[in-house]
Structure 1
Amino acid sequence: MGNPDLNAGRASVRATDENVPRALAGYRPSVTASANAGATYETGRSGSSGVLANTRDALFPRQAGLQVTQNLFNGFRTANSVREAESGVLGARETLTQTEGDTLFSAAQSYMDVLRDTATLDLQRNNVEVLEEQLRQTRERLVAGQITRTDVAQAEARLESARSQVSLAQANLQASIATFRRIVGVEPRQLAPGKPPDRLVPPSLAQAVRIAQAEHPAIIAALHAVDAAELQVKVVEGELAPSLNLVGSVGGGYDTSTSGDRVVSAALVAQLSVPLYEGGETYARVRQAKEVAGQRRIEAEATRDAVRSTVFSAWGALEAAKATVVSAQAQVAANDVALTGVREEARAGQRTTLDVLNQQQELLIARVNLIIAQRDRVVGAFAVAQAVGRLSAASLDLQVARYRAGTHYEQVRDLLWGLRTPDGR
């Protein structure tokens, strides 16, 4: 898919993946190399037994060293940081899944909007043709003396109103096409009739709520955020624990004291650091992290409530759309029969031209309402599938390249060095 929101979400997941190798770096040694070079010049007077002599010394000291530091214990901060980063990755993937569902729903909605507005435009244009024929017949009856000028004026007014509706329908269609182009990335051409994804809709409202509470990506992402926040508490608490490092170093120097001297040194040292008091800053961050964890738990419950509310709303809209389709179909059929009857009665002089025009308008409205109801029926099914968290390219069997978020994670998780991203940037 080429949707920018979806691509941005994927990039966000890839960026979040890098938090894991950052955390894993705590298990690995750090290596530092250093070197320096310079020149010194000394002049003075020195001597013994009362004999003094002038001295001059020019040295060019050069030193190089290598230090390796390996942490052995840091209060389990590294382990908890890795687990926190992995929870963040899992949460980001769920957020991406939700973005995919939102994008697919927007695409389905814009698809049906284009179909609706195209059908509405066709109906409005057909109505103009019918009214033009009606006006022609009305003028002929005026010439024959069967009706008055008032009937012609009524037909002309209704025709002009229909033409304005055509212009409005064209504007609506252009807006829907623009929205479709923005979401899908291509122009809508030869769109097939929309079909509701009924196989993704649970058989009952209660089951829909249960599925949403267990599977909705927003809820799962919120729970991963809770896990990450609780692990962050442990990470900060680990700063109060002793830290043990093993430090190895090797170095060499030339001309450090006298001209031509050479010194080589090596050391292996265990360093134990025990924090005693840091002004209370660490304790404040522990309390702060605990409050954030409490906030994440509250947000997770709020997300559950929001998802439940969305399911109820989507389910009600779908049921209403189904009933509206049945009612609109009956209304179209009844108005079609009524129009035929009114036209026959008008030919017999029992109905006026206005009666015919009004009945034509009733039929047009009924047909437009049917188109809208059919659109709402399809969109409503997609809305329920989205509300329960089952709307995805895989569930719809779309013939598109599937994006696997785990691929990038596997590529970068154990990288020890390198500035380029897996795609070569």
Structure 2
Amino acid sequence: MRKILFISALTISASSSALTLEESVATAINQHPKLQQKYASFEAAVRYKKAAKGDYLPQVKLYGGVGYENVRYNSGQRIDTDLNRTEIGLKVSQLLFDGFRTTSEIDRLEFEQEAERFGLISEAENLSLEVAQVYLSLIQANKIVSLSEQNITEHQAILKDIELRQAKGLSSESDVAQVKARVATSNTSYLAARNEQMDLQARYYDLVGELPNDLHDPRPDMNYVPQSLAHALDIAVKKHPEIDAAIRDTQAANAQYEREKSDYWPKLSIELQANKNDNIGGIEGPDEDARAMLMLSYDLFNGGSTTDRAEAAAWQYQQAKSIRQQTEKQVIEGTRLAWNAYEFVGQQRYFYQQNVDQAMLAQQGYQRQFELGRRSLLDVLDAKVEVFLARKNYLTAYYNYHAASYRLINATGSLIESFRVDTPNVWHEEK
């Protein structure tokens, strides 16, 4: 049975594809199969833990049987009987002590459930970052397509002007050929931009389940962006769900080691049993009994299997500790990389803006000088290409900066929270 992960606080219309970034994230979390898999794994862990708790409760077993029985001797006496044997009984047992096996098993499953919960949150965080990156890239691609269309229009206007000048004898055939070459180049740039745009649309559909339309330019919540690298690292180590999941895996491995050691202890239980049988042991007639017993069992030797299992569990605990350490190192590395991107791309925006401003001034000046005969056509065309590339680079830096902001928030484990997307209470229950 498919379950809904959560009900978003945002109102999402099933018939509309004009989604904000926050709505796109909420839709992806609700629908994406990758997160459904993690949610199913979490729910399975919850059920396994509930099942283990059943060992604390009395166990009631009803059993019965009917069949043919041939007995030649009973207690040394020859009786040679052929009877129809029937059995029915009820057995109630209550575990009193099992060497802490049940307690350790419940602890292990509790920690595994928590590891699954944090893994689910981490998967949702990463999916949210994917959606944010694709969303921003798609808006950037849309604007680059528009910029490419404008570039084609401007080059075609230049071509028309140069052809008129040629007709008046003011320009040569080589000038016309040169502009036509630039028109062809601008068309190839447009096609490359359209290809990128369509690829991103397909990627958006894969994540969100809807085709994008009328996207809204998002802004990261800067309240969630750390003010320094040290601050970012401190938040990431304390809050990142991957580290929390690794910690719970380590605790689960330790609980498993304690469970395996339980076989060193005796087992103690109370058993109540009543039977109502007929034609038992070759003696015709009813056979009824009832008993209440305090049962003790102690495994004195089992070929060293208990020791081997305990040692294996100890090594699994060491493995989990190493994975936890490696996870923290990876989170720290990811946070550093995210901070570096945020810092340097932020600085690049300023220079790209200057590049656009100066390139436009140069183009305007070259155009006036060309009309006065003081600049060549090649100078004008090169200046126009410079403006186009400067605008394209600025768009890339602008959206890369926003993407770096979301990436840094994700590195600290707060991206879903920054989007104000509601999640189930069970996602936040600390066990």
- Provide TM-score, normalisation by structure 1: 0.89
Displacement after TM superposition at 1:25 (Å): 2.0
| 1:223-260 alpha-carbon deviations (Å, 9 max, x no partner) | 11111111111100011111112111111012446897
Determine if the alignment matches structure 1 residue 186 to structure 2 residue 186. no
CA distance in 2, matches of 1:169, 1:31: 70
Partner residue of 2:49? Answer: 20
Pick aligned residue for 1:11 from 40, 43, 54: 40
| 1:50-84 alpha-carbon deviations (Å, 9 max, x no partner) | xxxxx997643322111122211011111111111
- Percent of residue pairs identical: 25
Determine if the alignment matches structure 1 residue 75 to structure 2 residue 96. no
Contact 1:14-1:408 within 8 A present in 2 as well: no
CA distance in 2, matches of 1:56, 1:154: 116
Structure 2 letter corresponding to 1:403 = P
Determine if the alignment matches structure 1 residue 38 to structure 2 residue 67. yes
Contact 2:71-2:281 within 8 A present in 1 as well: no
Pick aligned residue for 1:395 from 418, 421, 425: 418
Pick aligned residue for 1:359 from 364, 380, 383: 383
**Where do 1:329-340 residues align within 5 Å?**
329-340=353-364
CA distance in 2, matches of 1:330, 1:81: 64
Partner residue of 2:75? Answer: none
CA distance in 1, matches of 2:411, 2:70: 80
Displacement after TM superposition at 1:407 (Å): 11
Distance change >3 Å, CA 40–CA 214, structure 1 → 2:
closer
Pick aligned residue for 1:285 from 286, 309, 314: 309
Contact 1:219-1:303 within 8 A present in 2 as well: yes
Pick aligned residue for 2:151 from 124, 127, 130: 127
Determine if the alignment matches structure 1 residue 111 to structure 2 residue 147. no
Distance change >3 Å, CA 258–CA 286, structure 1 → 2:
closer
| 1:324-382 alpha-carbon deviations (Å, 9 max, x no partner) | 11111111111111111111001111111111111000000000001100110110000
Structure 1 letter corresponding to 2:50 = P
Distance change >3 Å, CA 273–CA 257, structure 1 → 2:
closer
Distance change >3 Å, CA 372–CA 406, structure 1 → 2:
closer
Partner residue of 1:345? Answer: 369
**Where do 1:24-423 residues align within 5 Å?**
24-39=53-68, 59-256=83-280, 261-392=285-416, 394-398=417-421, 402-405=423-426
Contact 1:33-1:65 within 8 A present in 2 as well: yes
SS at match of 2:418: coil
Equivalent residue pairs, number: 396
Structure 2 letter corresponding to 1:25 = G
CA distance in 2, matches of 1:297, 1:408: 24
Moved more, 154-163 or 32-41: 32-41
CA distance in 1, matches of 2:259, 2:128: 39
Contact 1:17-1:409 within 8 A present in 2 as well: no
| 1:26-46 alpha-carbon deviations (Å, 9 max, x no partner) | 212222222122245799xxx
Structure 1 letter corresponding to 2:118 = E
Structure 1 letter corresponding to 2:62 = A
CA distance in 1, matches of 2:34, 2:281: 65
Displacement after TM superposition at 1:146 (Å): 1.4
Contact 1:196-1:377 within 8 A present in 2 as well: no
- Which runs of 5 or more structure 1 residues have no equivalent in the other structure? 44-54, 411-425
Displacement after TM superposition at 1:283 (Å): 0.4
- Which runs of 5 or more structure 2 residues have no equivalent in the other structure? 1-29, 73-78
CA distance in 2, matches of 1:309, 1:406: 26
Contact 1:39-1:58 within 8 A present in 2 as well: yes
SS at match of 1:272: strand
RMSD: 2.2
SS at match of 1:261: strand
Partner residue of 1:420? Answer: none
| 1:134-155 alpha-carbon deviations (Å, 9 max, x no partner) | 0000011111111211111100
Contact 1:14-1:409 within 8 A present in 2 as well: no
SS at match of 2:415: coil
CA distance in 2, matches of 1:172, 1:273: 70
